[in-house]
Amino acid sequence: MSMKRSFSARLLALSAVACLAATLTVSAPAQLMHHTKKPRKVSSTDPLAGVSSKQPDKELFDKAMTALKKGKYDVARLDLQALLTTYPESEYQMRAKLAVGDSWYKEGGAAALQQAEAEYKDFITFFPNQPEAADAQMKVGDIYYQQMEKPDRDPTNADRAEQEYRLMVQQYPDSTLVPRAKQRLREVQEVLAQRQYTIGAFYATHDNWPASIARLQTLTDSYPLYSKSDLALMQLGDNYAAEAGIASRLNINGAEKERLIAAYDDRAADCYSRVVTRYPMAPHVEDAREKLIALGRPVPEPTQTELAESEAEEQSRANIKLKDRAILLVKHGPSTLEAARVGEPLMTPAKTVTAPEVSKENIAIFNAAAGRPASPATAATPSPDVANGTAAPRTGDAAVPNSGGGASGSTGLGVEILNPNGNAVDNNSGNSSTGAAPPAATPPASEGTGAPAPAPAAAGDNYGLKSVGPANTAPLPPVEKPAEAQTQVNDVKGGPTGNAQVQTGTPAPGKKHKKNPKVKTDQSAESSSTNKKKKGIDKLNPF
C-alpha cells in the first residue's frame, strides 16, 4: 500500500511539473509579441509623413492639416498663410499653397469656389511642372462642373467646364487624371448637346426651318457622342424634307422646281444615311431606313467597325431608372447618366452654325436650281426695313432671309421672291429682269425756312412701286393764337339784387375802381351751434 501511494504521489508531481512547463511555453511568445513594436507604414505619396520633426514649419503644416480635416477652414488658412509668409524657403511651400485652394474648395459656396479657382490658378503659375499642377487644373474644371445648370438654363458654367477639362487633357497628357477628365468632358458635352437639341426641336415645332437646321447642324457636327444623335439627325432630315415640300408648292418653272426639290431631298437622304452608318445600334435606325426607301434612295450598310463602335457606345450608357428621374426633379444640376463612357470627346471648340448662314445657303440652292450664278448682290443682306416688311424692297434685294416658315409672301425656305417692277419674274420662264439703278434720294427740306419737302417722284420713276408719303403737299396752315381767357365770375351769396357780380381784371376807362362793398347777409338760415335748440341736459348749460 505504501508503494502504491508513493507511486501515485510521483505521478501527481510529474503532471504538475508538465502543466507548469506548458504554461510557461505558451505565455512566453505572447509576452514577447506584446512587447515587440511594429514598424510604422510610410505613405508613398507623402514622403514626410513618417518623419517625426520638431521644425516650426512642419508643426504649422500639421496643425493646418488637422484643422482642415475637422472642417475648421479659417483656422487652417491662417496657419498656412503664416507658413507661407514666415518660411519662404520651407519644403512645405508647395503643399501649403495647394492646401489653401483645397480649403476654399471644401468650404463650398459660390464665393468660396471662386476664391479656390484663383488659388489653383496661382499654384499652376508658380509650380507649372509639378505633378500637383494637373490636380489643380482638374479641380478648376470640377468647380464649374458642380455649378452647371440644366440644359434649358444658362450654359455659362457648362462652357467654362468644357474649356477647363479640355485644357487639362491638352496640357497634362501624361497625368493619371486624364481618363477622369475625358469622362467629365463627355458628360459636359452631353449637357451642351441636349441644349442644342431642345432649341432645335422647339424651332421645328414653329416651322422655323432655318433656325432649327442651324441648331441641329451644330449638334450633329460637334457632338457625335450625344445620346440622342440619331434622333437629332432624323429631325434634321425631316427639316430638309419639309423645305422640299414647301418648294413643291412654289409657283415657279417646273424644271426649276424639280431641281430645288431634289437638292433638299439629297440633304435629307444624307442625314438618314448617317443614322444608318454611324449609329446602326441606335433606336431610330429602322425609321431612317424607311425614310430612305420612301425617298427612293439606296440604303447603305454599316461596316463591322461602325457596328462595333456604335454597340460599345450604347452599352456604355447607364439606364435611367424611376429613382433617377425622381432625383432629377429635385436636383439642381443636370443629369449625365446617359453620357457615353467610351469614345474620344471633342477637343476643339464647337463650330456654331447660325440661322443667317442657313438662309444664305438656301439662297444659293435656290439660285442654283434656277440656273443663276450666285452674285454678291443676291447673297447680300437686305436692308432692315425690307427684311421686317415695313418698307418697299430696293433693287438688288433679290432674296430676303425669312426667319419663319410658310409666312405670307415668302417661300418658307428662308428666302423671298421679290418682283419690284411687276413683271420682273416670269412664272413660265423663271427669269428675272432686275438691275436698273435705284432712284435718286429726295433732298430734305432746308432747315429754318419752313418750306415743305418736294413731292415724291412719280410712279414711273419709282419702278412701278407706289410712292410712300402724304398725298397733299400743300403748306401747313398758320399756327392759331390761343383763345382769350374767360372772365372771372364771383357769385356773392345773398346779395341785395340776387345777381352775380362780375369782376374784371381792369376797371372801366374813366371810372375809379371801387372796392366791393360789404354785403349784409341773413345768417339766420345758416347752420350754427348757437341757433340750434338745446335738448336734454344741455338746457342747463347757460353758455
Paired strand residues for 501: 490
84 in any annotated domain: no
* Contact criterion met (CB below 8 Å) for 333 and 154: no
The pLDDT tens digits for 130-173 are 999 999 999 999 999 999 999 999 999 999 999 999 999 999 99
pTM, rounded to two decimals: 0.63
Can you tell me the distance from the alpha carbon of 144 to that of 333, in angstroms, rounded to the nearest whole number? Answer: 11
56 in any annotated domain: no
111 in any annotated domain: no
pLDDT at position 144 is 96
278 in any annotated domain: yes
257 in any annotated domain: yes
pLDDT at position 469 is 56
* Cα 98 from chain centroid (whole Å): 32
Return the sign of the alpha-carbon dihedral for residues 504, 505, 510, 511: positive
Show the cell assigned to 265.
431631298
pLDDT at position 330 is 79
**SS3 track for 465-524:** CCCCCCCCCCCCCCCCCCCCCCCCEECCCCCCCCCCEECCCCCCCCCCCCCCCCCCCCCC
471 in any annotated domain: no
Domain hosting 217: range is 206-333+351-374
The SS3 assignment for 279 reads: coil
Number of structural domains (the chain) is: 1
Flag residues of the chain having pLDDT under 50. 1-4, 24, 26-37, 39-40, 42-44, 377-409, 418-464, 493-508, 511, 513, 519, 526
pLDDT at position 458 is 44
pLDDT at position 174 is 93
pLDDT at position 427 is 39
Contact residues for 483 (Cβ-Cβ < 8 A; gap 6+): none
62 in any annotated domain: no
109 in any annotated domain: no
Instruction: Single out the residue of 130, 128, 133, 140 nearest to residue 104, CA to CA.
Output: 140
